[in-house]
């Protein structure tokens, strides 16, 4: 009986220690989420408007203008930029992004994958580890972007993708990421990056044809503008994932703390019952001993 009480006490201490960790992680994630949420909320209108402008230019520009980044060709080689987190303990966040990537490969690029013409650029260590274990062709040069998140680091990735597309190393580039809605909700999406889509990807908005006045010349402006807008588009996706990660981790740690509370209640009831049984046993032994002496 004494051994059982000690075991329950040890479990209670263990759960209390774990609960302290989950509460601390929730507070840290909440602080990081606020900064990450502010960053994506400020970035989103700018990135959406730039994307709308870019889609309008692509839709309304007819031959003659250098539109290499909007060139649609037969898809033989594919690049998927999969954005996950560096760390776990954020619920099913990373698993959902990985499922989205696998579903995209199965539904759209199964032929390219079977022929060995599908490449994954992993941003975030969790995605890199997941696809490397499953023998996908993974490029990990950009996996550490979240260690020191900056526009310059993301820009290098976007520029590398643009260069690979223009040199025809890939015929299509897609981004697999999570769009931040709120701390408890993310939308997991696969969005085209290259070639530049002619229709705006913003939900609920139709692309209006606009008559642009180009200054300087159209070719020069488009060649200068396109890469910059693509840099912004990828940076916005990375910021979305950064906010989504912290929101998912905060929610997961909150649930873990609640579960720890429920477990503690159950363990304390078990401890009190075992303690009560031990006291009752001791009293019975004392009474029995006294009765035996009197007899």
Note the pTM of the prediction, 2 decimals.
0.84
Output the six-digit token pair for 42. 């400020």
Q: Where are the domains of the chain?
A: 21-253
Domain 21-253 listed as CATH 3.40.50.20: no
Please list the ranges in the chain whose pLDDT falls under 70. Answer: 1-2, 60-66, 199-212, 214, 218, 295
Q: Omega before 276 cis (within 30°)? A: no
* Token reading at 243: 């906010």
- Which residue, among 143, 93, 91, 103, has the nearest Cα to 121 in the 3D structure? 143
pLDDT reported for residue 62: 55
Contact between 39 and 243 under an 8 Å Cβ cutoff? The reply is yes
At residue 201, the pLDDT reads 46
Catalytic residue among 50, 90, 138, 238: 90
Nearest by Cα to 261 from 4, 5, 9, 12: 12
Angstrom distance (rounded) from CA 254 to CA 260: 10
* Dist. CA 194–CA 73, nearest whole Å: 11
pLDDT value for 1: 60
241 catalytic? Reply is no
């Amino acid at each position: 009986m004494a051994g059982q009480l000690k075991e329950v006490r040890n479990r209670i201490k263990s759960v209390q220690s774990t609960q302290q960790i989950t509460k601390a992680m929730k507070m840290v994630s909440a602080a990081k989420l606020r900064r990450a949420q502010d960053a994506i909320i400020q970035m989103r209108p700018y990135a959406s408007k730039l994307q709308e402008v870019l889609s309008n230019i692509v839709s309304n520009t007819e031959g003659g203008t250098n539109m290499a980044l909007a060139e649609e060709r037969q898809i033989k080689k594919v690049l998927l930029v999969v954005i996950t987190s560096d760390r776990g303990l954020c619920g099913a966040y990373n698993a959902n992004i990985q499922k989205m990537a696998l579903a995209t490969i199965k539904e759209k690029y199964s032929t390219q994958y079977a022929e060995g013409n599908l490449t994954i650029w992993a941003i975030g260590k969790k995605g890199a580890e997941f696809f490397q274990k499953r023998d996908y062709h993974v490029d990990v040069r950009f996996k550490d972007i979240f260690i020191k998140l900056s526009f310059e680091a993301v820009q290098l990735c976007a520029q590398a993708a643009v260069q690979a597309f223009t040199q025809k190393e890939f015929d299509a580039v897609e981004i697999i990421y999570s769009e931040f809605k709120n701390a408890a909700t993310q939308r997991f999406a696969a969005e085209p990056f290259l070639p530049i889509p002619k229709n705006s990807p913003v939900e609920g908005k139709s692309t209006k044809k606009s008559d642009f006045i180009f200054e300087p010349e159209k070719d020069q402006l488009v060649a200068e503008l396109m890469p910059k807008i693509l840099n912004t588009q990828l940076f916005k996706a990375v910021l979305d994932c950064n906010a989504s990660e912290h929101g998912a981790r905060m929610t997961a740690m909150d649930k873990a703390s609640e579960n720890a509370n429920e477990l503690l209640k159950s363990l304390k009831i078990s401890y009190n019952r075992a303690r009560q049984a031990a006291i009752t046993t001791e009293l019975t032994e004392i009474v029995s001993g006294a009765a035996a002496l009197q007899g």
